[in-house]
Amino acid sequence: MILQNKIKIMLIIFLSWLILISTITACNNTENTDKPASDKLSIITTIFPQYDFTKQIAGEKVDLKMLLKPGAESHSYEPTPQDIKLIQASDLFIYTGGENDTWIEGIINSMGSDAPQTMRLIDLVDTVEEEIIEGMEHDHDHDHEKDHDDEEDYNREHDVHEIDEHVWTSPINAIEIVKEITDYLLENDQVNADYYKENSEKYIKELQELDQQFVDIVQAAERNVILFGDRFPFRYLADQYDLDYYAAFSGCSTNTEASAATVAFLIDKVEKLKLPVVFSIELSNEKISDSITETTGAEKLTFHSLHNLSIEELAANETYISLMQKNLRALEKALN
């Protein structure tokens, strides 16, 4: 994680230099020539949830783009110079905030008065810290030969308490985010205000129905425990519906390989609790969940975190709600 942050800082400096050079060498034209010729608002998002929320409200009334390419892993995303130009030319830039978006602040600051208005999802709802629970590995693990004092020194030197940025995984949080995006659209494009308001109200009702479906499934279930042989970017969903969970890694972990001890721990939980399902998340290599299901006979299912879509999902016009409906069906199997 530390090395990754250093790389991102170096990238920020490099991209900031590119922006400065392009500004100096530009023609003496006071207008921003990167701005779209269209009168539509230009909105750029980093990942899928805020992209789809905006799309459901605004439809074709705005120029909407997502930086993350289909099938790409969001936690390893690095901006290109073209991405920076898109951000600078936009009216609104929506991003999540948190550890994986640290590169954004430097880029926005480097734009000065040319920076777009920004919206951070973690500012729109109440947040919680990522947690390391029993049996879970994390990025701050290090040599077992190091003693307990070394561990305490490490934790004092490096802040291991990070905001869990996966706020959209709760439909209730999604409603609050949709309201904020709607308010922006109503304030900045009054010509289409009625259109935005109508779409937003309809969409919020759909999200409320989604929330109720989760409530109904959890309340009728035989158990309230789920297990992931993978990262767990669902803290907000678990908290919202009072679900207990076990997982190999926290939501923003960069680990992909679990220790034998972690795999053994998860296998033991599946067997002792008689869990019928082991989850993996989208775009995962599924090695850990495969190991667990091969040993226990549990069914392996995907639980979608909605960071991004595959090329196939994009072609099938999947949405936040359609993917969450699939999660609902998978959850129902896991809890019964």
40-91 pLDDT, tens digit each: 999 999 999 999 999 999 999 999 999 999 998 887 788 899 999 999 999 9
The pLDDT of residue 61 is 98
Sign of CA dihedral 310, 321, 235, 275: negative
Q: Are 177 and 306 in contact (CB under 8 A)?
A: no
- Percent of the chain exceeding pLDDT 70 equals 82
pLDDT digits (tens, 9 = 90+) for 288-311: 999 999 999 999 999 999 999 999
Calculated CA dihedral for residues 99, 101, 103, 108, nearest 10 degrees = -130
Q: For residue 154, is pLDDT > 70?
A: no
The pLDDT of residue 250 is 87
The pLDDT of residue 171 is 98
CB-CB neighbours of 164 under 10 Å: 23
Q: What are phi and psi of 25, to 5 degrees?
A: -90, 0
What are the domain boundaries of the chain?
Answer: 2-127
Q: For residue 9, is pLDDT > 90?
A: no
Is residue 309 classed exposed, middle or buried when 0-12, 13-18 and 19+ CB atoms within 10 A define those classes? Answer: buried
Of the candidates 186, 161, 213, the residue with the CA atom closest to the CA atom of residue 322:
213
Q: For residue 164, is pLDDT > 80?
A: yes
DSSP letter, residue 129: B
The pLDDT of residue 28 is 39
The pLDDT of residue 158 is 43
pLDDT digits (tens, 9 = 90+) for 309-318: 999 999 999 9
From the options 3.40.50.1980, 3.40.50.2300, 3.40.50.300, 3.40.50.620, give the CATH code of 2-127: 3.40.50.1980
Write the DSSP assignment of 301-316 as a string of letters: EE----S---HHHHHT
